[in-house]
Amino acid sequence: MKFREVLGIDVSKKTLDIYLHCSSKHKVFANDCQGYLLLIEWLGKQGIPREALLVCFENTGIYSRSLADFLWHNGFNYVMENALQIKRSMGIVRGKTDKVDARLIAKYAYLRKEELELSQPKGQLIKAVSDLLTLRDRMVKQRAGYKAFLKELLLGQDHSDLLVGIHQRLIETLSEEIQSIHTQILALIKSDAMIENQYQLISSIKGVGFVAACYFIVSTDAFKRFKNHRRFASYCGVAPFKHQSGSSIKGKTRISHLANKKMKNILNMTAMAAINHNKELKRYYQNRVEQGKNKMSTINIIRNKIIARVFAVINRNSPYVEINKFAA
């Protein structure tokens, strides 16, 4: 698609700093519905057809979500890019203002307008599940904190029964709320036949539990975001990469620290559960350890195996089958 103009937007909590690359025009609008309408009105005065304009901005979480939805529903082509991707493309930059950031974002998109993939907002169901999972994570961390403090209290000889009781009730309340979130997430999943089918397929793999299955669906946007399991493994930070240059640098193959840390942690727990409950992967892990292989390297292989299996059951649209149990 041929874009005549590129609009860079620096998104903050209250304002949108926008910059037209070719026209070198800067403007500031409020980051709300009224501001979005004024932005459309201003763009109309510039005489740029929507189909000839590419909009680019950084993914800033809740601050950019409403903007993305508005642009999508009003027929704009936009790219919501990773902030680190844009930052590393800027080179050496001295000084920082919202106007400068908007200009650099516009320049980034203009230079790459032929290769950037257009974005589209996640569905309402995926957003709802994602928000509930985020809330669940916060509650789990809070409960763990209360449990740790309660344990310390009980170790003391002169602990306060009042404090113990309060902590116990807080832990019980959080546990009930966490279970309530699980129920609500399941209800949302069951309300969509395609999402429910994906959930059932992923859950057929031993070691992949409720939380991991939900995170797979949310992180992949119901498996529309990544073309194959290798790209998703790279996104999660579990794909190995070579580290060498010329004849002097020949490092070990290693994973990158640029990753979705939450998904990487989920995969780590999933791999440990698979080692404990999946006979095939347990035997594979034990054999490699007995051969003197690195334990973390083996766990990372299992993480990649789990990702490959998840994408396989989704692509085949059939549950996972343990072939080894049918072997003679």
Percent of the chain with pLDDT over 90: 74
The three-class DSSP label of residue 17 is strand
What does pLDDT average to over the chain? 91
Three-point CA angle 185, 188, 192, nearest 5°: 140
Q: How far apart are CA 251 and CA 248, in angstroms?
A: 9
Q: How far apart are CA 211 and CA 262, in angstroms?
A: 12
Q: What is the pLDDT of residue 324?
A: 66
pLDDT tens digits, 292-317? 999 999 999 999 999 999 999 999 99
Q: How far apart are CA 263 and CA 285, in angstroms?
A: 22
Average pLDDT score over residue span 254-282: 91
Listed residue (289, 309, 143) closest to 216, CA to CA = 309
pLDDT tens digits, 69-101? 999 999 999 999 988 888 888 887 777 899 999
Domain 5-111 carries which CATH code? 3.30.420.140
Q: What is the pLDDT of residue 95?
A: 77
Q: What is the pLDDT of residue 326?
A: 54
Question: H helices within 123-242, ranges in order?
Answer: 124-155, 161-190, 193-203, 210-219, 229-236
End-to-end Cα separation, the chain, in angstroms: 56
| Higher per-residue pLDDT: 134 or 327 | 134
pLDDT tens digits, 145-195? 999 999 988 887 777 889 999 999 999 999 999 999 999 999 999 999 999
Contacts of 128 (CB under 8 A, 6+ apart): 188
Q: What is the pLDDT of residue 189?
A: 97
Given a cut of 50, is residue 328 above it in pLDDT? no
Q: What is the pLDDT of residue 89?
A: 84
Q: What is the pLDDT of residue 165?
A: 92
Listed residue (310, 178, 304) closest to 241, CA to CA = 304
Residue 200: pLDDT band by 50, 70, 90 thresholds?
A: very high
Residue 281 tokens read as 């992967």
Q: How far apart are CA 41 and CA 255, in angstroms?
A: 47
Given a cut of 70, is residue 325 above it in pLDDT? no
Q: What is the pLDDT of residue 256?
A: 82
pLDDT tens digits, 265-277? 999 999 999 999 8
pLDDT tens digits, 202-223? 999 999 999 999 999 999 999 9
Give the H or E element holding residue 281: helix 279-290
What is the residue extent of each domain of the chain?
A: 5-111, 124-191, 219-326
Q: How far apart are CA 122 and CA 147, in angstroms?
A: 36
Contacts of 309 (CB under 8 A, 6+ apart): 205, 320
Give the H or E element holding residue 83: helix 83-89
Q: How far apart are CA 306 and CA 300, in angstroms?
A: 10
